Structure formats: C-alpha cells, structure tokens
Chains A and B, each alone.
Chain A
Amino acid sequence: MPQSLDYLKETASQTAGPYVHIGLIPAMAGFDIFEKNFSNVLTTPSTEGERITLEGKILDGTGTPLRDVLLEIWQANAAGRYNHPADRSAGALEQEFRGWGRAGSDFESGLVTFETIKPGAITDRAGRTCAPHINVWIVARGINIGLNTRLYFSDEEAANAADPVLNLIEQPIRRSTLVAKRSERGGKVVYSFTINLQGPEETVFFDV
C-alpha cells in the first residue's frame, strides 16, 4: 500500500429548499430578526461607476419562472478590481464596495433584481483582459448543487468577442445565453437577463 494522500472530502451539497429565505433573506419569509441584513443593493451613494439595474428570471424546463429561487452575485468594481486580497491587479480598490449581493425572486412574478454598478474589465491571473462580467450563483428547491454562471453586457461586443471564458464555449450560439441586454427605462439603465435551466436555450453553467 502506498502512503495515504489524506485529503478530506468536500461536504456534500444539499438543496437550499423552498424556505431558503428564512435563513438568508428573513424579510422575504415575513419577519424581521437581524440588526443588519444583506441585500440586493450593492451600491452606496459614494460608489464609483455607472448605476445599473439587473433584472431577470430563471425559467424551469417548462419555461415557467422559478418563484422561490435565490441568486447571489459577485463582481469587481468599476475599476475592474475585486474587493479581495487575492486580486492583485492594478485597479483602484474601493473598501466600501463589497461587490456581493443576494436576492430572492418575487413570489408572484419570479423577477429577480439587483441595484449595482457596471464592473470594469478584469485582468486575469495570466495578465489577460476579460470582458466586464458579473458572477452568478443560483440555489433553490430542486437544485441539488448551486449553479455557477456569468452575466456579460450586450454593449460590450468587442470585449465579449475577445473574452477568454466566452471563447471556451464551443457553440457560438450558446455564448449569447450569458449576455444581458441593455435598455433604458425611466432614466435608469437596465440589463435584462433570462436564465434557462433546460431546453434549447439552456444557459451555460460552469464547473468552476
């Protein structure tokens, strides 16, 4: 027998269940308990960058919006820098911009929204420039392990065409599943997205 490698095994994932709001967004479950709550608003008045609203739905295999889903997003600031010591790129760090938010879908419409800023282009660890993007993590009843995907921006065509991750997707037609569409509504910039869990337009999910 050789030596044992002795690594531990990751704890198995389990569904977040239909009542994920109780723990992670108690106000949506219908009660107030914590002094400080996490939210879907990532910005403060001093945050640098272009204010945007992300607005989307997550559709099941029948095209029906999930109305009990929870999304988290993780993004760089307007200078393309993540608020984490492992990002040593050159962009300016903003201490008060955490870059993380959490939202539940509306119990009636299934709509998920975030108020944030458009991130800058990111320099990856090999020094390459990556198109601006927002990392998304999805959990819900019936989702056994959280799904990772990304949102890119429809007005960044040239940057998207050169993005090393988008270019890993073999079928060009599937790259468009990660691109949120820009529009303006009432003076606000809105990026709309649809995440399809199944079907011909199934969103690209990542094994990160």
Chain B
Amino acid sequence: MNAQAPALRDPRLNRPEPLASPLGDGGFFQRDRSIHPPAHAPGYKSSVLRSPRQSLLSLEGSVSEITGPVFGHNDLGPLDNDLIRNYAKDGDPVGERIIVHGRVLDETGRGVPNTLVEFWQANAGGRYRHKKDTYLAPIDPNFGGCGRALTDDTGYYYFRTVKPGPYPWRNYVNSWRPAHIHFSVFGSGFAQRLITQMYFEGDPLIPICPILTTIPDKDALDRLVAPLDLNASAPFDSLAYRFDIVLRGQRSTYFENRTAGN
C-alpha cells in the first residue's frame, strides 16, 4: 500500500524514471515492538483483561496513517506550559519547583517542529486533581496538574511545574508508583502518536515499579528516566530535568516533501 510506485518507464525515452531517494516516500519506519511493553504483561494486573490476544494486522503506512492533526499557537493559552501559575488561586503550589525541558526528535535525529506535547501529573503529595483519586494526600488548591506546549522549529519544548510525589496503587498490596509525569505527543502523522511517562533520576522506586518494568528492554527503560540538568536550572528558583522524546522515524517530513515538490 506504500506509494512508491512500481518503476515507471517514460514511453518517450523508454528509460526508467530517476531512482527516488529511499528515505523519500513519507512513510514511517517500522515500529520496533521489542522496546515497547507487550500488551499482556501480567505483572501489571490491569493489562490482563485489556490486552488483545490476536496478532496485530501489519499495515504499511497509508495516507490515513502518515497524516495527522495539526495544532497551532491558537490552540494554546499563554500559561499552558506553566503549571506553577496556570491554576494558582492564592499563591504558589506546594513542592519542589522544577523545569522540564528537552527535544522531540524522530529516529533520524531530526527535531519534530510545531508538534503538540501535553503533560499531566500528581501534585507534590502524590495526589491527582481527579474526582476518581481518593488517596489521602491533600489536593493542592493552587495546582491543577496539567499543561501543554508546542515544540519550536527545532523540536524543543519546556515547562515549569512542581516535582510530583510518589503514590500507592492497587496492583500488589504494597505497590507504589515512582514520581512521574505523563506525556502525550502527536508528531506529524497519526502513526507517530505516543503516550509515555517521564521518571526522575535517582528514584529508588523505579526498578520495582510494576508498570515501568513492563518494558522488556533495559536501555528503553533508562531512556524514560530524566537526568538532573544543572545547566538549565534557574539559580535560587528551580532545578531542571532534561527529557528528550523520540518518535518514529519518518522517511521524509512533509515540509521536505513540499520543498521537493513531490
């Protein structure tokens, strides 16, 4: 179903058309499923009844998958990437102030520009502002816990927040989630859509988290752990953590397609 047309011959010349660039058809690289958690991961009990058991049907990227929604600055408000301010009622949220920043790249190392990155998290006590969360830690009246940003031309994004707390959950009797921030990223085509979680360097709960350990590949797990980045910290204000996100490689971006006129 890929568009790379069979080698056409120009009837006037009886010669094949010039060879197209192998990275030029706009499709995505095949997803390497060995670095993603399997659907059925019994250590994470919620996956048992929610995991498909049939094989996924392999589908070469059609126009339905290489395209995706386009967002712009009109979709965002001015405080959307500032979780310290975007829900503040009568003061700052409680907790350790942090900056999170990084780049959204694809597997070829190119920045993914102008793409929507959304993030959400618990407050410093480990409680979500959600009507279904009943953990005993208090709700912070000045903290909503969500934000969003558009990457710039180079794929760079940043936001400010407070470091989320760990919290208990019903998997094993004594399961605790490491401190984490959820991320949702779009990319340029619907097949790049990704939801993941960022963790913090040095957290002792990381190696024993039943969700994090669904990832079968140690390097893939390590890439979800954001290092402390003192160079990006704001002195006497906030520590910083760096979290780069890699989406699937694209055989050429649509911007390049346009330039080339193909």
Interface residues of A (CB under 8 A from B): 6-24, 26, 29-31, 33-36, 38, 60-62, 66, 68, 72, 74, 76, 82-87, 89, 98-100, 107, 122-126, 130, 133, 135, 137, 139-148, 150, 164-165, 168-169, 197-198, 202-208
Closest B residue by C-beta to A207: B56
Tell me if B50 is interfacial: C-beta within 8 Å of chain A.
Answer: yes
In the complex, what distance in Å separates the CA atom of A150 from the CA atom of B56? Answer: 13
Closest B residue by C-beta to A7: B107
A126 CB contact (under 8 Å) in B1, B197, B246, B248: B1
Stretch at the interface among B8-16, B126-134, B233-241: B126-134
Task: Assess whether A33 is in contact with B120, with CB atoms less than 8 Å apart.
Answer: no
Contact A24/B57 with A13-B36, A197-B50 known, Cβ cut-off 8 Å = no
Contact A12/B70 with A23-B182, A141-B46, A144-B214 known, Cβ cut-off 8 Å = no
Cβ of A58 to closest chain B Cβ, rounded Å: 9
Task: Assess whether A9 is in contact with B32, with CB atoms less than 8 Å apart.
Answer: yes
Task: Assess whether B54 is in contact with A22, with CB atoms less than 8 Å apart.
Answer: no
Task: Assess whether A205 is in contact with B56, with CB atoms less than 8 Å apart.
Answer: yes
Stretch at the interface among B72-80, B93-101, B149-157, B200-208: B72-80
Task: Assess whether B68 is in contact with A143, with CB atoms less than 8 Å apart.
Answer: no
Residues of B in contact with A, size category = 35 or more
Tell me if B162 is interfacial: C-beta within 8 Å of chain A.
Answer: no
Cβ of B223 to closest chain A Cβ, rounded Å: 6
Chain A residues near B108 (CB-CB < 8 A): 7-8
When each residue 243-262 of chain B gets 1 if its CB lies under 8 Å from chain A and 0 otherwise, what string results? 00111110000110110000
Cβ of B130 to closest chain A Cβ, rounded Å: 4
Chain B residues near A146 (CB-CB < 8 A): 193-195
Task: Assess whether A145 is in contact with B190, with CB atoms less than 8 Å apart.
Answer: no
Chain A residues near B182 (CB-CB < 8 A): 14, 16-17, 20, 23
Cβ of A146 to closest chain B Cβ, rounded Å: 6
Tell me if B118 is interfacial: C-beta within 8 Å of chain A.
Answer: yes
The 4 closest A-B pairs by CB, nearest first: A23-B120, A125-B3, A142-B46, A100-B69
Chain B residues near A33 (CB-CB < 8 A): 86-87, 144, 146
Task: Assess whether B50 is in contact with A10, with CB atoms less than 8 Å apart.
Answer: no
In the complex, what distance in Å separates the CA atom of A122 from the CA atom of B74? Answer: 29
In the complex, what distance in Å separates the CA atom of A178 from the CA atom of B189? Answer: 21
Instruction: Jot down 24 A-B pairs with beta carbons below 8 A, ordered by A.
Output: A9-B219, A10-B107, A12-B223, A12-B224, A20-B182, A29-B131, A61-B50, A72-B193, A83-B67, A83-B69, A84-B70, A98-B69, A98-B70, A122-B63, A126-B3, A130-B64, A143-B47, A143-B51, A144-B44, A147-B52, A148-B65, A197-B51, A198-B52, A206-B57
In the complex, what distance in Å separates the CA atom of A11 from the CA atom of B248? Answer: 8
Chain B residues near A207 (CB-CB < 8 A): 31, 33, 56-59
Chain A residues near B179 (CB-CB < 8 A): none
Task: Assess whether B193 is in contact with A85, with CB atoms less than 8 Å apart.
Answer: no
Closest B residue by C-beta to A68: B132
Task: Assess whether A86 is in contact with B67, with CB atoms less than 8 Å apart.
Answer: yes
In the complex, what distance in Å separates the CA atom of A87 from the CA atom of B3? Answer: 12
In the complex, what distance in Å separates the CA atom of A99 from the CA atom of B219? Answer: 36
